[in-house]
Every structure is written in C-alpha cells, then in structure tokens.
Structure 1
Amino acid sequence: MAIRDDYIKWVILITILYRVGTTNSVCELSVSHGDKLYNFSLASPTWKYPHGVLSEDGFYKIARNGTVLWFQLCDGLIFNHDPPRCFDCQDCGGPSHCGMGCSALVANPLGGYYVCTTIGRSSSTKVNLIDEKNPSMGVVVKISSSGVLTNCSLSVSVFCDSNGLQGPNLLETVGTCDYATVLRHPSGCAKTVSLHGNGLGWFSTLLIIVLCFFVAYLLAGTAYRYFSLGIRGVHAIPHLEVWLSLPHRIQGLFRSLIRRFRRPTQGHRSTYSPVNF
C-alpha cells in the first residue's frame, strides 16, 4: 500500500514538472526591434499575479449569443467549479472530465442541447506580436486543434496593461470554428534589453588599450633583457626600481595634496593674535 502511494506521488510530481516546463516553453517570445530586444514570458510570476497570465481559477470563460467558450492560456483547462455541461466531449477529457484534456473548449447550441468542440491545445500554442512595428503593444496567443471533421483555433490578444487584468469581454467568430478574444494583462508587457549601449565607454576602452601596451612593453623588455643581456631573475623586468618605488610616490602625492588643503585653514587661524586683558 505504501509503495502504491509513493508511486502515485511520483507520478503527480513528474506530471507537475512536465506541465511547468511545457508552460514556460510555449509562452515565451523574444523579438528584436530597432536597438532593443523584447522578451515576453506570459507564464512568469509577477508581484500581483503569481501564475502570470494563467487564470487562477483554472480557466477563463466568456459567453456571447448562446456560445460559451472556456480557455486557459499556456496550459490545460482545470475545473474545480463550474465545469462545462455539453455533449461530445470525448476529444477533451471525456464525459466525466469534460474540458480537462485541452486548452480551449467551445459549446454551441444545437437542437436544444449544447455540443462541445475542442478548439485548442497547449501543445499547439503559438505566440506572435500584435503589431510588428510596435512590440510593446503585446502579443497574440493562438492555440489550435485539428480534428477529423473540423480544424478549430482560438486567438487571444494579450495587450500590455500594467494596471491589471481586464477581460475577456469580447468574443468574435472569425470563421466556421475560429474564435478571437481580447485580454489586457501586465504579463503582456515585454521586458526590454538594449542591444546597444551596454558596451564599454571610451574611457574604459582607452584604459584597456593603455594596459595592453603596458603589458606588451613589460613582456618585450623582459624578454630582451633575459635573452640578449643575460639578466636573470626579477631584475630582468625593465625599470624595476621605478615600479617598486611607484607605491611610495603615490603615497607621497596623496600626502602633499592633504597638506595643501590643510594649509589655508592653519594659516587663517595664525593671523589672530592673543589678546591680554
């Protein structure tokens, strides 16, 4: 019994890790535009939304003109409450777990009953920009499902909005089995990285050049004194006395500067003469 419980725990853990890895891979997009790199990571946690753009309820739901649509971005649907009530759910979890086997499910009234149709799976998720000329606007997440009779899809436009989640409040039927809706969410905002300007400045470049010349001078001078003049040991280094005395010279320079700044104060105080009463 204990072995069976451990086996079940390991299966659940592996499933969770697999879904997390899949979520991260299908919900990321990096696009370069101009001198910037725009990185989108819809499933990454933020301060207010620990699951990113994913609905904490396990699903988003929208109904228009008798059509009911459930979807979850970047992951599969999870129903802890208000599950779908429609027929023909074999392609998305079966009758007992309707909606639990896909990322988007739509129910349309037909002959007085609601009939389910799978319109998206997380494995077929694609992320693109809403506007290629303006990457900061947000992204379009398209999930699709190919069946024997119909090919369905759902496009969710995730606009960048730092104020919080808004929507979905719009459902459009683009084709026979193609739907579109809109979300406004902070996860639709990209993190930008400048492609230029992160390099070395002119001063750093000049410093590196001077340092390279200095090292080359030491190596060449040491080689010349070692092989041509036959000088061995540390004395082969050219101008060794100068380099050894350099710390003392720098220390003396700092001391002279400190004295120079102190002298005016001491001279100003010495202009006063004591007064005897």
Structure 2
Amino acid sequence: MPIQDVYMKCIILLTILYRVKYNSVVAVCQLSVPHGNNIYNFSLTSPLSNYPHGVLSEDGFYKVAANGTVLWFQLCDGMVFNHDPPRCLDCQDCGGSSHCGMGCSALIANQLGGYYVCTTIGRSSNTNINLIDEKNPSMGVTVRMSSGSRLTNCSLSVSVLCDSNGLQGPNSLDKLGMCEYSTVLRHPSGCAKTISRHGRGWGWFSTLLIILLCLFAGYLVGGAVYRYFHLGIRGVHVIPNLEVWLTLPHRVQGLFRSLIRRFRRPTEGHRSSYSPVNF
C-alpha cells in the first residue's frame, strides 16, 4: 500500500475520533432550561473572548488542595498534564503510573501513612449538568461527574457560578460523604444566554384570529350541509349567503376608495376654484 494512502487513512481516522469526542463533550456540557418567559441556554465549552476553550482549563486541569487532600479535575473533558502531574499511588484506573491522571476527568489523592493514595472520582463519560438553583437559573450550573466504578461510588460536583468578571477558584474542597466531594468555580461560562419566549408560539391576537377563522369555517360547513340535505339546494348555491360573499370584494374596494378620498389632500384645482376679488 502506498505511504500516501496510509497517511490519508490515518488523518481520516483521527478526524473521525476527534469529532466523536468533541461532539460528546459538547453534548455533555450543554443545558437548555425554560423558566418563566425565558429560555436559559448554557454551553460551557463555547469559546468566549478571553476564554477560547470556555470553562475548560487551558492548563489541562484544575487543582485544589485542602486538609491533606489534593484534587485534580477538568470539566467536560479528560485531564492533560504538561506540568505538575499527580504523584500518588494506585493510579491504575486513571492512566497508570506513567500517565497518572490522564485517564479520567477527576482524581483525588488522600494522605495515608505518609503517602498519597489516588482515587478516581470522575470521568467525562459519567458527567451530567444541572442548575444550581431551579428558581434562579441565572446563578449557574453544577457539573457532576462520577467514577462509574462498581467497587467505589465516588463523585465530584463542581458548581460553576456565573461571574462575568473572569475566572475565580477553585479555592475550597468539601467532602460530602465517604467518597463524594464538591468545589466551587466562578467563570463567565456559567452565565446563561437568555432567549425571550414572547416572540415564540401564539400570541393573543394570533389565537383570536385562529378562533375566528375556525368559527367562520364551521359556519360555512354547517350552513352548506343544512342547505344540501334539508333544503335540497345543489351546486354553488349550497354556500350560505352566496350573494353576500360575491359582492364582498366590491364592497371592500368601495370602502377603501371612500377612505382614500376622505384623507386625500385637496388638489391644486380645488384650491384655485375661486377667482381672486380685487377691492
């Protein structure tokens, strides 16, 4: 096989894999919620002016430490370490010893007996997104990821608060259960794009117009059925008040003409109909 064909197939395969991964990431980190007269759309991976990758850390990971515990995580994708990689034991299910942290989206290290022991607490494939406060959608969203392990039920919840000023945090780490953690992140990606629903659907005028048209159609059909079966009328005369409908265009045309004549300004001929009088 020519080497050009091999290169071309490799490029096509990598493109397909990238699109599949990108589409799955985008689908995970999107949320659309109707609330009141508005629709709140969240897209955490959409590029912003100062954040081309959205909420994704450009370092490849976020890091926070508290009380002898170290947490690494990446939102909406797997972690990538070009510097400061995790140094802890038992990292087999998250990249192994040589690529620790690069096989999951959240990894935590607890100090036990003088050593840091790793635990996978999140994967991008086990991620969902919900509102922080259903009564206040503009507050932001919570991204929850879990390890998906049968042995340990671990998870990480990251509250992405709306903050148009820029990225802040994470600065805290809370332990909610045996293997459940949470942290807070302020980011412009947590701000929803609001779409008003006033212009969508049927307004009161459109609804009234539809009702009037339905009533008119019912009148025509009911009248035609009555005239056909009870009065024995055939042909176009089965339509009730046919003469009125035939003369209706002429009546409308005459009405418009009368309105035009009423609002039209007097012409120059009318103005000069009287000759000036010299005293």
The 5-angstrom pairing of residues 49-198 of structure 1 reads: 49-64=51-66, 67-79=69-81, 81-82=82-83, 84-88=85-89, 89-107=91-109, 115-145=117-147, 151-174=153-176, 177-191=179-193
Distance 1:175 1:215 in 2: 65
The separation in 2 between residues aligned to 1:265 and 1:67, in whole angstroms, is 91
Alignment partner of 2:232 out of 229, 232, 245: 229
1:193, 1:72 → 2: CA distance? 29
Kindly indicate whether the alpha-carbon contact (under 8 Å) linking 1:28 and 1:39 is maintained by their aligned counterparts in 2. no
Question: What is aligned with 1:41?
Answer: 42
- Distance of aligned partners of 1:268 and 1:45 in 2 relative to their CA distance in 1, 3 Å threshold: farther
Query: Which stretches in structure 1 are left out of the alignment for 5+ residues?
Result: none
Q: Which residue in the other structure is 2:29 paired with?
A: 27
Q: Do 1:23 and 1:43's aligned partners in 2 also have CA atoms closer than 8 Å? A: no
Shift of 1:127: 3.0
Cα separation, partners in 2 of 1:214 and 1:174, compared to 1, 3 Å: closer
Q: Structure 1: how far apart are the matches of 2:218 and 2:174?
A: 70
CA positional deviation for 1:266: 6.8
Q: Is the 8 A contact 1:38 1:135 kept in 2?
A: no
Cα deviation for residue 153 of structure 1 reads 3.0
Say which SS state the counterpart of residue 162 (structure 1) adopts: coil
**Match of 2:258, SS?**
helix
Q: Deviations over 1:73-132 (max 9, x none)?
A: 1221133x2151524332212233332210012345677765543221112224344334
Judging changes above 3 Å, is the alpha-carbon distance between structure 1 residues 259 and 46 closer, same or farther for their aligned structure 2 residues? farther
Q: Distance in 2 between matches of 1:147 and 1:239?
A: 76
Offset at 1:246?
2.1
Per-residue CA deviation, residues 187-227 of structure 1 (Å, 9 max, x unaligned), is 32345677899664444333322212221222233344455
In 2, distance between residues paired with 1:38 and 1:207?
Answer: 27
Other-structure match for 1:220: 222
Say whether the 8 Å CA contact 2:123–2:148 is kept in structure 1: no
Q: Secondary structure of the equivalent of 2:99?
A: coil
Structure 2: distance between partners of 1:216 and 1:44: 53
Instruction: From the superposition, tell whether residues 40 and 207 of structure 1 become closer, same or farther in structure 2 (CA, over 3 Å).
Output: closer
TM-score, reference length from structure 2: 0.75
The normalised TM-score by structure 1 is 0.75
Cα distance in structure 2, aligned partners of 1:261 and 1:37: 43
Q: Given that residues 42 and 187 in structure 1 are in contact (C-alpha distance below 8 angstroms), is that contact kept between their aligned partners in structure 2?
A: yes
Comparing 165-174 with 264-273, which one deviates more in the overlay? Answer: 264-273
1:38·1:190 contact (CA, 8 Å) conserved in 2?
Answer: no
Answer yes or no: is the 8 Å Cα contact 1:171–1:181 preserved in 2: yes
- 1:84 and 1:268, CA in 2 relative to 1: closer, same or farther beyond 3 A? farther
Identity %: 66
For residues 153 and 10 of structure 1, what CA distance do their matches in structure 2 show?
A: 35
Aligned-partner residue type, residue 93 of structure 1: G
Structure 1 residue 143 displacement after superposition: 1.9
Residue 75 of structure 2: SS of its match in structure 1? coil
Q: Does 1:14 find its partner at 2:16?
A: yes
